């Protein structure tokens, strides 16, 4: 079920009302049933895959707690991770690996006979797999007690607000909340609705609007000019941010209404002054997952310089692969790794330049300059994220390099007319204005806020139930 659908408009109040009406003991059952319904709305049979990993990790958690022999515990953890990664490998990476085998085979002159089964990627598979893995790892590390109640554990993985696109929660944050009794609270309800409405605004008004131009340009690159490609690249940066952070806002809002606190997933990432800071603001739940479960176990930065760089490359390449089974995603991750390493290499030089010109690090010029550089670098990397193939990404880059700034109205408007372009810039303006609001949307004038934002959604929203980009991951 999509958050931006009429079905959810009915589902959410019904489930929430029932949640507060039911006795506490029955609430987990309601939430689990509602989560199953929510997930099965997409493709019912894939819930079996979800249950497979839930059962594996539920028992893995119990055994990891009960078994004292470190060797055996380690094997249990590995088995559970293999089961989870195995599901991912089959559904997400099988065809990708097979394609690469075919490619290598063609190069060396042999034919690949491994079949290509028709498989659809279960929605949100990477999200709930990672959430499930964080549970077993935390139990293994003795930082989390194993959950003995199967229903609560299943709910931990399936809690509908964050089931298909995160935030990827940690058991320490969410499991105990599932056991707690939440009474209806005015503050939670108002705060939750503020987040939901703002998230819908980001998705329906901004992301879906910008996607019209972006799709048109990427779909007809032959007729695009440098200027139209440049606009499309900038629009995509904003689109993907609003699409994904909008989903996270709605997820946090629906949970908050019922009294649950989900972690902050986006913290105004385009205000970052370095790529390192960008990653502490963008998709926080994923970047912290890789930090805690890959980067630090590999040694983090407390090792030799070259091993440190190796760790950075590994983490970002994996992050790229997590997003999609395509080399374009790996390149996207690789670019970010390169950016980070460039920042590390040039740290001293940059501070020396600043000193030489007597520019204080916190002056407005430096702040805006840094933000612009980060935005340009991130936007460039998004080209590989958005492009369907490597060739398409290169075509976009070539178009940018053509430096064709002719003001052909048809090219500039990407055949959608000037009004669409004007509204696109207008909604970006609205996003910038919304940055003046408190970060957590705890406002004084909640009624005015929700009224105005709802009005804008109806006025400027794109009809048509567009999928969230991150659903495919």
Which stretches of the chain bind another protein, using CB under 8 A? 17, 20-24, 183-186, 189-190, 193, 223, 409-410, 417-420, 423, 446-447, 450-451, 454-455, 458-464
CB of residue 265 vs another protein: minimum separation in angstroms? 26
Give the count of alpha carbons within 13 A of 405, CB side only: 1
Range list of β-strands (E), 156-299: none
Residue 323's contacts (CB-CB under 8 Å, 6 or more residues apart) are 126, 329, 332, 333, 385, 473
Nearer to another protein among residue 181 and residue 436 (C-beta):
181
| DSSP character at residue 361 | T
Nearer to another protein among residue 92 and residue 209 (C-beta):
209
| DSSP character at residue 404 | -
Longest dimension (CA), the chain: 71
Instruction: Give the H or E element holding residue 239.
Output: helix 226-257
Distance between CA 199 and CA 264 in Å, rounded?
13
Alpha helix ranges (H) inside 183-225: 186-200, 208-219
CB of residue 150 vs another protein: minimum separation in angstroms? 23
Of the residues 323, 336, 398, 445, which is catalytic?
Answer: 323
Q: 165-176 burial string, b = 16+ CB within 10 Å, else e? A: bbbbbbbeebbe
CB 374 within 8 A of CB 274: yes
CB of residue 472 vs another protein: minimum separation in angstroms? 24
Nearer to another protein among residue 365 and residue 419 (C-beta):
419
Nearer to another protein among residue 214 and residue 286 (C-beta):
214
CB of residue 287 vs another protein: minimum separation in angstroms? 35
Nearer to another protein among residue 86 and residue 418 (C-beta):
418
Which tokens in the block code for residue 74?
């380690």
Nearer to another protein among residue 52 and residue 455 (C-beta):
455
Distance between CA 126 and CA 89 in Å, rounded?
10
CB of residue 448 vs another protein: minimum separation in angstroms? 8
CB of residue 459 vs another protein: minimum separation in angstroms? 6
Residue with tokens 């055996």: 72
Give the count of alpha carbons within 13 A of 244, CB side only: 29
Based on the residue annotation, tell me whether 128 is a catalytic residue of this protein: no
Give the count of alpha carbons within 13 A of 379, CB side only: 21
Distance between CA 221 and CA 437 in Å, rounded?
38
Nearer to another protein among residue 102 and residue 454 (C-beta):
454
CB of residue 413 vs another protein: minimum separation in angstroms? 8
Distance between CA 81 and CA 85 in Å, rounded?
6
Write out the DSSP string of 114-146. ------PPPTTHHHHHHHHHHHHHHHHTTSSPP
Looking at the annotation, which residues are catalytic?
Answer: 323
């Amino acid at each position: 079920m999509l958050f931006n659908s009429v079905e959810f408009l009915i589902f959410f109040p019904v489930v929430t009302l029932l949640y507060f009406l039911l006795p506490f003991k029955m609430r987990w059952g309601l939430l689990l049933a509602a989560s199953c319904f929510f997930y099965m709305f997409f493709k019912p049979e894939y819930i079996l895959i979800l249950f497979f990993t839930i059962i594996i990790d539920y028992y893995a958690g119990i055994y990891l707690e009960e078994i004292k022999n470190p060797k055996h515990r380690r094997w249990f953890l590995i088995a559970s991770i293999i089961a989870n990664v195995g599901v991912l490998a089959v559904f997400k990476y099988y065809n990708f690996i097979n394609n690469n085998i075919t490619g290598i085979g063609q190069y060396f002159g042999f034919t690949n006979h491994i079949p290509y089964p028709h498989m659809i990627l279960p929605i949100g598979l990477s999200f709930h797999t990672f959430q499930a893995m964080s549970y077993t790892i935390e139990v293994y590390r003795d930082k989390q007690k194993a959950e003995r109640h199967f229903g609560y554990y299943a709910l931990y993985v399936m809690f509908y607000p964050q089931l298909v696109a995160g935030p990827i929660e940690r058991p320490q944050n969410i499991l105990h909340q599932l056991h707690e009794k939440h009474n209806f609270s005015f503050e939670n309800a108002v705060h939750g609705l503020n987040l939901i409405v703002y998230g819908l605004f980001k998705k329906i008004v901004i992301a879906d609007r910008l996607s019209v131009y972006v799709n048109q340009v990427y779909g007809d690159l032959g007729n695009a000019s440098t200027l139209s490609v440049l606009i499309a690249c900038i629009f995509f940066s904003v689109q993907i941010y609003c699409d994904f952070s909008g989903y996270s806002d709605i997820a946090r809002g629906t949970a908050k209404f019922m009294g649950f606190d989900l972690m902050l997933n986006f913290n105004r990432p385009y205000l970052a002054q370095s790529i390192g800071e960008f990653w502490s603001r963008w998709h926080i739940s994923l970047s912290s997952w890789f930090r805690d479960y890959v980067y630090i176990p590999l040694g983090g930065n407390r090792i030799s310089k070259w091993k440190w760089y190796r760790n950075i490359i590994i983490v970002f390449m994996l992050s790229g692969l997590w997003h999609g089974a395509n080399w374009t995603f790996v390149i996207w991750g690789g670019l970010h790794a390169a950016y980070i390493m460039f920042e590390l290499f040039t740290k001293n030089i940059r501070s020396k330049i600043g000193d030489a010109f007597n520019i204080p690090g916190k002056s407005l010029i430096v702040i805006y300059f840094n933000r612009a550089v980060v935005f340009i670098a991130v936007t460039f990397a998004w080209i590989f994220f958005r492009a369907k193939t490597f060739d398409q990404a290169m075509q976009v880059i070539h178009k940018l390099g053509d430096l064709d700034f002719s003001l052909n109205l048809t090219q500039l408007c990407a055949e959608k007319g000037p009004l669409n372009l004007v509204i696109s810039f207008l909604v970006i303006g609205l996003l910038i204005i919304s940055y003046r609001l408190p970060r957590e949307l705890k406002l004084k004038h909640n009624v005015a806020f929700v009224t105005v934002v709802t009005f804008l959604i109806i006025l400027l929203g794109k009809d048509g139930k567009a999928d969230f980009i991150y659903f495919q991951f």
